[in-house]
Chains A and B, each alone.
Chain A
Amino acid sequence: MESLYQEVILDLSRHPHGVGLEGNASGTAHQVNPTCGDEVTLEVHLEPGTDRIRSIRWDGHGCAISQASASLFSDLAPGLTAAELSERIEVFRTAMRSRGTIEPDEELLGDAVALGGVSRYVARVKCAMLAWVAGEEALAAAVSV
């Protein structure tokens, strides 16, 4: 239990980061987990005229894993370029799908490594991925315009 629900995850689920949509985003995406009804709407805001992420804002509801994961994503992204964030999303996805065989890379993912335990719980990987998939979609929308 404790490996899945690390203290930072429980804390973030109670006091999430990056919550509240601002509008006028560079890209927005909405993701739903149909098995539980969890959903997230996520905005990517770029620094004007660049492909560097200024901030991530999100709104939604779901389990502790999905809420903490959205918070960790919104902490990680600011300051990265679109390409750098895409790479990190891919690294995170690979770790999540590894069934516990790949430890997430702390240099690339920062505090989001706290979600590493999720990969051993196949049914919960989707919870952890929800915001990151929304981020990927919002990012694609942001850089395509």
Chain B
Amino acid sequence: MTVIAPPTFAELTQHEIDAIRRDFPILSGEVNGRPLVYLDSGATSQKPRSVIDTERDYYEHENAAVHRGAHTLAALATERFEDARATVARFIGARENEIVWTSNATEALNLVAYAIGNATAGRGGDAAKRFRLSPGDELLVTEMEHHANLLPWQELAARTGAVLRYIPIADDGALRMEEAQQLVNSRTRVVAFTHVSNVLGIVNPVSELVALAHGVGALVVLDACQSAPHFALDVVGLDVDFAAFSGHKMLGPTGVGVLYGRAELLDALPPFLTGGSMITTVTMESAEYLPAPHRFEAGTQRVSQAIALGSAVDYLAGIGMSRIAQHESALGQLLVAGLEDIPGVTVLGPRAGEPRVGLASFDVRGVHSHDIGQFLDDRGIAVRVGHHCAQPLHRRLGVTSSTRASAYLYTTTDEVGEFLDAVRDATTFFGVTP
């Protein structure tokens, strides 16, 4: 099992968490007449003032089109845009030319799938031959994927004649690695899986899966949406070929996501979206494309969002990802231990004491997640309800939906306590019998 938080880092003190909370304007607000208890950071995080200010300052003082125009503001905007790329690259141990801006993680994953599809259709010349799929080639995902890392591969399989297979999970949510070993074979071309399950909170064994995939020459695509915001992500150390994550889940604004790709792969992949700003030469018949990352950044870019994401990364790095991970891991354990204690409540995924990040999804016997969420909302507690874009996973676990509480660096143990009290009261209100 991956150990998320090395014990060598000092825990975030209450004093520090109080200071962090003051950086997030929304956290001092009220909902339904009660102080907001925000436990939906797995869906989207709140934003510190520094990120909000960065985006506003950009529009007030630096706004211009990047990578075009020779005037002073255009040069300044371009510099800020590329600086943000460098900041994000450093954050995950990558090089600048290995970071592609996308609209969100979903677009990043689609980019890889569509580019492979384009290579299969013969685009990208000799360099892209290595990506071409033949009927009967296999794409491998897992049963716990978010739809964003499932549907692009379903569609790619449908377009190319490749076969989509999946690694099943055990009842406790762990991937069945003995089956993974059987599933990975010489026809496997892509292994795409999530680093951390957005429902189970479980951390998948990346190194083992990478070893299996690379053993047969398959590409590894990592969905890092629930890992990059919460613990130190080292894409080179993990040896993944691609990784995707979104800005808004890690204190950044909406509208910006990140695709990491190993430079030699990105430079060989044909483009996904085409148009302005991604070419060297265009004739009426054909075009030549820039090297990565710009060949994947067609059209006007999400400049203010990228710069603000750089600011978000600075904020996280300033506190330290290891300390954030340690804090959230402790909250995750509190959540699970507390929920397991409430009659009629079943936690999905690892039990208390097993490694998990700072989130927990649960089922309340006989009560729909919407009703639980409504009860909590009445007390100012924000959680996620529904299938969390993971219908096959819920089906596998025998539930149609669940309620999820997800913490972040600004979440306090008191908030977890309030949440647990409210869940207990909800079971009484809805007449759950012990």
Interface residue A141 (Cβ < 8 Å from any Cβ of B): no
Q: Is the CB of A64 within 8 A of B371?
A: yes
Q: Is the CB of A36 within 8 A of B387?
A: yes
* A1 interface neighbour in B370, B391, B401, B429, Cβ under 8 Å: B429
Given contacts A10-B430, A37-B400, A124-B374, contact A64 B387 (CB under 8 A): no
- By a CB distance below 8 angstroms, the chain B residues around A4 are 374
Interface string of A22-54 (1 = CB under 8 A from B): 000000000000011110000000000000000
Q: Is the CB of B374 within 8 A of A37?
A: no
Interface residue B378 (Cβ < 8 Å from any Cβ of A): yes
- By a CB distance below 8 angstroms, the chain A residues around B369 are 36, 63
Q: Is the CB of A36 within 8 A of B374?
A: no
Interface residue A18 (Cβ < 8 Å from any Cβ of B): no
Count residues on chain B whose CB falls below 8 Å from chain A CBs: 19
Interface residue A65 (Cβ < 8 Å from any Cβ of B): yes
- By a CB distance below 8 angstroms, the chain A residues around B431 are 10, 14
Complex CA gap A14/B432 in Å reads 10
- By a CB distance below 8 angstroms, the chain B residues around A66 are 368
B385 to chain A: closest CB distance in Å? 7
Given contacts A1-B378, A61-B400, contact A37 B370 (CB under 8 A): no
Instruction: Please report the number of residue pairs spanning A and B whose Cβ atoms sit closer than 8 angstroms.
Output: 48
Complex CA gap A65/B368 in Å reads 10
B37 to chain A: closest CB distance in Å? 16
A129 to chain B: closest CB distance in Å? 14
Q: Is the CB of B430 within 8 A of A63?
A: no
* A37 interface neighbour in B367, B378, B391, B430, Cβ under 8 Å: B391
- By a CB distance below 8 angstroms, the chain B residues around A1 are 374-375, 378, 429
Interface string of A114-137 (1 = CB under 8 A from B): 000000010010010000000000
Interface string of A1-15 (1 = CB under 8 A from B): 100110000100010
Q: Is the CB of B385 within 8 A of A64?
A: no
- By a CB distance below 8 angstroms, the chain B residues around A62 are 368, 370
Complex CA gap A38/B367 in Å reads 13
What are 14 A-B contacts defined by CB distance under 8 Å? A4-B374, A5-B429, A36-B370, A36-B400, A37-B387, A37-B391, A38-B370, A61-B400, A63-B368, A63-B371, A64-B368, A64-B430, A65-B371, A127-B370
